[in-house]
Structure 1
Amino acid sequence: MEHRLEQIKKQLHAQSYKLTPQREATVRVLLEREEDHLSAEDVYLLVKEKSPEIGLATVYRTLELLSELKIVDKVNFGDSVSRYDLRKEGAEHFHHHLVCVECGSVEEIEEDLLEEVEQIVEKDWCFQVKDHRLTFHGVCQHCQESVVESTK
């Protein structure tokens, strides 16, 4: 985690920002709970446990800055809640998600599935792709198995 924190500090410095104690507290929460896809309110509650002096507005500003600098990605899985997802170190593109419409679980796909699609878009529409996102909404394996079990 310390290595990743140092990388984020460098990214901030490259854009003339500092890793203030408030920003560091927010980034640490995101690093500790990276797989959880936290909302701003979730981040705030976790930051507050460790640093009660940090306010909600500070956490919101920090998340927006991190989003603008492409350190985190702001995502919405169709439930009208913005969630924050750390960009993987060295990743050119945002990763993809599988969202279960039954239980709400979210799984990540690290593999870039859209390289060929990007090439087609760039060639056929003369559009320079900078990033992309792909979210599949469906029923996870666990929920599928639960339905099968309940019909037996």
Structure 2
Amino acid sequence: MDISIERLCIENGLKMTGPRRVIARVLSEATDHPDVDELHRRANRLDPRISLATVYRTVRLLESKGILARRELGSRRARYEPNGDGNHFHLIDKETGSVVEFSAPEAEMKLREIGRAQGFEVDTIKIELFGRRPKA
């Protein structure tokens, strides 16, 4: 991921404590969509003093500042990723919970056409597809 969460925090005027720096680093390096427990596990590997409560507080703060986006991706736990205004597509495996991000330029064009036909100018497209991989 090429987004620096720490940079976004600083740009938003947040004080960067040691634990926040570690959590921001973990989020910036994540290639998946971790939940709070997974963020805590990863942050704790870098600094064992970081508590689960600190991770929860930090995630809520980053979400309130618009730095992180909370995603409900078919599990009971919310997952997080850097917030962005760009088009965003997820394919979620209902059995494993794995999430694949993908782009679909043809689908974007068709969805914008649908929006125009309904009198809308579409700004952003966010799609989540749920399914299962076929058994081999």
Runs (4+) of structure 1 moved beyond 6 Å? none
CA distance in 1, matches of 2:15, 2:117: 40
Encode CA deviations 1:71-95: one digit per residue, 9 max, x unaligned: 22111112211111234xxx52252
Secondary structure of 1:134's match? strand
CA distance in 2, matches of 1:95, 1:17: 27
Q: Which runs of 5+ in 1 are unaligned?
A: 147-152
Q: CA deviation at 1:68?
A: 2.3
Identify the match of residue 54 of structure 1 among 33, 39, 50. Answer: 50
Secondary structure of 2:50's match? coil
Residues 74, 92 of structure 2: 8 Å contact kept: no
| Structure of greater relative contact order (alpha carbons < 8 Å, 6+ residues apart) | 2
CA RMSD of aligned residues (A): 2.9
Aligned length: 135
What TM-score comes out, normalization by structure 2 length?
0.75
- Does the C-alpha gap of structure 1 residues 145 and 109 become closer, same or farther in structure 2, counting only changes over 3 Å? same
* 1:30 and 2:37 aligned: no
- Does the C-alpha gap of structure 1 residues 55 and 103 become closer, same or farther in structure 2, counting only changes over 3 Å? closer
Q: Which structure is higher in helix share? A: 1
Encode CA deviations 1:95-130: one digit per residue, 9 max, x unaligned: 21001224432110245654664686589577x977
What TM-score comes out, normalization by structure 1 length?
0.68
Q: Which runs of 5+ in 2 are unaligned?
A: none
Encode CA deviations 1:10-46: one digit per residue, 9 max, x unaligned: 42233221222111100111223x2221110111122
- Paired-residue identity, %: 27
Structure with higher Rg: it is: 1
